[in-house]
């Protein structure tokens, strides 16, 4: 009997201890919850911290991917695969500012580097009337019209753009090292725009179907058959289509010759396609 009473008392003690632990855990949880609510209330009273450093500017495509293109401090524009009727192209570059917006327009300083070889007005024109980050905005889009000239068929031209500090903006982000062994850097405040019209023989230009490559011939093919010559520079184009282009063009040349309108190539010889379509 005494033994049963002992075990009964021991069971009651363990039960009470568990109850005390539960009560204690509830108290700890309640205290933690009150502390958390208090800290949130204090944070709300203080407000979120905002960027209070000096505003800085940089070219956005050197920092962030745009149109799924990798970050870069240079852009290549080629008129090579554009039809001969295309005379210009408008390039857009985003200039971005760090920090908060302001209620007034802010002027930034853009300077054309003397190392540029692209001729102003003749080969390019900046369409922006002012270089400003508009009120309540953190970015501006530079619009540059690049003009196609005959000189571009023989060599590359470049336009070098520099962002310079002024009383509105600093240039705190200047560059980063891409390769420590070579010292190659990526600039945040300089952009080089390369422009050319150099047409190289496309990947799918087969002499067996097309004959000797020339600029005049490929542009005539694109005009006669109404296709984009970039099709011949990708392996996605079926070979059957390449064969079709060659045969169609040879029939066209034959018809023109029969009508007394023989077409001649750049070197003065009669234009013909390759032996595979004769």
Per residue in 181-205, pLDDT (tens digit) is 888 889 999 999 999 999 999 999 9
Q: Is 69 in the same domain as 178? A: yes
What does the DSSP 8-state code read for residue 119? P
- Residue 214 lies in domain: 207-277
Q: Is 42 in the same domain as 62? A: no
**Domain presence at residue 256:** yes
Instruction: Report the predicted TM-score, pTM, of the whole model to 2 decimal places.
Output: 0.73
Q: Is 228 in the same domain as 182? A: no
**Domain presence at residue 111:** yes
For residues 38 and 256, the model is more confident at 256
**Domain presence at residue 138:** yes
The domain tally of the chain equals 3
**Domain presence at residue 143:** yes
pLDDT per position as a tens digit, 5-42: 433 443 434 444 444 444 444 544 454 444 445 544 54
Q: Which of 196, 217, 244 is the last residue of a domain?
A: 196
- φ, ψ for residue 122, nearest 5 deg: -70, -40
The 10 Å Cβ neighbour count of residue 58 is 22
Q: Does pLDDT of 94 surpass 50?
A: yes
**Domain presence at residue 202:** no
**Domain presence at residue 201:** no
Q: Is 137 in the same domain as 238? A: no
CA–CA gap between residue 165 and residue 54 (Å, rounded): 11
Q: Is 150 in the same domain as 217? A: no
Contact indicator for 60, 94 with CB cutoff of 8 Å:
yes
């Amino acid at each position: 009997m005494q033994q049963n009473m002992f075990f009964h008392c021991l069971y009651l003690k363990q039960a009470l201890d568990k109850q005390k632990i539960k009560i204690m855990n509830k108290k700890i949880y309640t205290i933690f919850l009150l502390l958390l609510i208090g800290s949130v209330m204090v944070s709300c009273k203080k407000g979120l911290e905002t960027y209070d450093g000096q505003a800085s500017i940089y070219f956005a495509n050197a920092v962030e991917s745009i149109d799924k293109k990798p970050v870069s401090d240079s852009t290549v524009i080629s008129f090579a695969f554009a039809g001969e009727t295309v005379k210009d192209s408008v390039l857009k570059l985003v200039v971005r500012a760090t920090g908060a917006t302001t209620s007034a327009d802010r002027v930034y300083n853009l300077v054309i580097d003397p190392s540029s070889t692209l001729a102003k007005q003749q080969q390019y024109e900046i369409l922006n009337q002012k270089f400003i980050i508009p009120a309540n905005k953190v970015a501006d889009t530079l619009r540059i019209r690049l003009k196609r000239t005959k000189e571009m068929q023989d060599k590359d031209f470049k336009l070098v753009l520099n962002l310079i500090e002024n009383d509105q903006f600093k240039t705190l982000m200047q560059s980063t090292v891409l390769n420590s062994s070579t010292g190659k850097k990526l600039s945040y405040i300089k952009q080089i725009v390369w422009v050319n019209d150099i047409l190289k023989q496309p990947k799918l230009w087969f002499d067996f179907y097309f004959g000797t490559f020339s600029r005049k011939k490929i542009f005539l093919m694109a005009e006669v058959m109404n296709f984009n010559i970039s099709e011949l520079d990708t392996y996605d184009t079926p070979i059957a289509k390449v064969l079709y282009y060659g045969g169609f063009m040879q029939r066209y040349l034959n018809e023109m010759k029969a009508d007394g309108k023989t077409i001649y190539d750049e070197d003065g010889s009669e234009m013909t396609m390759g032996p595979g379509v004769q």
